[in-house]
Structure 1
Amino acid sequence: MPTETERMLAGEPYDPSAPELVADRERARDLARRYNATSEAEGREALLRELFDAVGDDPVVHPSFRCDYGYNVAVGDGFFANYGCVFLDSNPIAFGDRCLLGPGVHVYTPTHPIDPEERATGRERAEPVTVGDDVWIGGRAVLTPGVTVGDGAVIGSGAVVTDDVPDRVVVGGNPARVIREIE
């Protein structure tokens, strides 16, 4: 029988209150707390590498940063996240190389049932979020479960991305729509 962690990572309904998942979130909160309280000179990058699944060269994540598990986050070379970013990583969140995140960017993988009776059970599902290379995500943008952002795209500040974003376009709004293509 699969564990709740295995169900979560498979995108199946899972119980987030399962002891194994609660312990994993506590571990991530502790590492994030330590990361946020540590300076670059004190070894902040080593804590990020302990928290995340994969970290490329020269990452910058400004405090305060929050995540659910950490082990489902991968960031490429030259990754930059400004202050106040939140990653709810119940499923993989993958950023390509040279991605830039403005302040307060939120990335969500968990989702709850629409049906109120089913939602009352407390079970949820999660879908991965994938961001290509050379993407710029403006401050306070939100990426919702299951979206893919193409290479070279720009997500405008405050955008709520609910659908996949093609390569080399600018999107904005709520829900985010293509504003223009990038030459």
Structure 2
Amino acid sequence: MEKALDGALLTFRERGFHAASISDLSAAMDLTAGSIYKAFSDKRAIFLAAFDRYTSRRNARLQQLVEVEVTGFNKIRAMLAFYAESSHGVEGRRGCLVAGSATELATFDSEMASRVTTALRRVETSLRTLIQLGQSDGSIPSGIDVEATARVLLSLLQGFRVIGKTGRTRVEMIAAVDQAMRLLS
């Protein structure tokens, strides 16, 4: 099931919910349409399962990268670099399921809107916590407005994922990380 969901995930990331057909999903999941409908009630159920898998896996990987850093400043840099690395080349062109869902589905689907809001709040809360950690450990100035800076960085991270669809380079994305880190000095 995980392998099948990973195939669906790629299809939804590349095409979005509405443009992904059952035949596209069948090919990506390596399942017949009948098997898909036995496992999932409809395309939306596949999407919701893929969305949950996507956010869970990305959050776990991000947590691993952030945990190895010592200071709040370096933890935020690791977080921004993670998003930058996901926002160039093939991976960047595939897009972000959260950003795509926010623009494609959240307006019309209250359950999807709730999932998107939860995902974005989780990131913003992490940023806020890391800024506060940096202020406590002295790596981020105490005069930085925690709430506003967390929102700016959240906007930047989601912006990375959107512009990544346009084929940005790694150099461009890392340069944006370096510039963003100046907000914290």
Please say which structure displays the higher CA radius of gyration.
2
**Which structure dedicates a bigger proportion of its chain to helix?**
2
Higher relative contact order, chain-length normalized (CA < 8 Å, sep 6+): 2
TM-score band, normalised by shorter chain? under 0.3
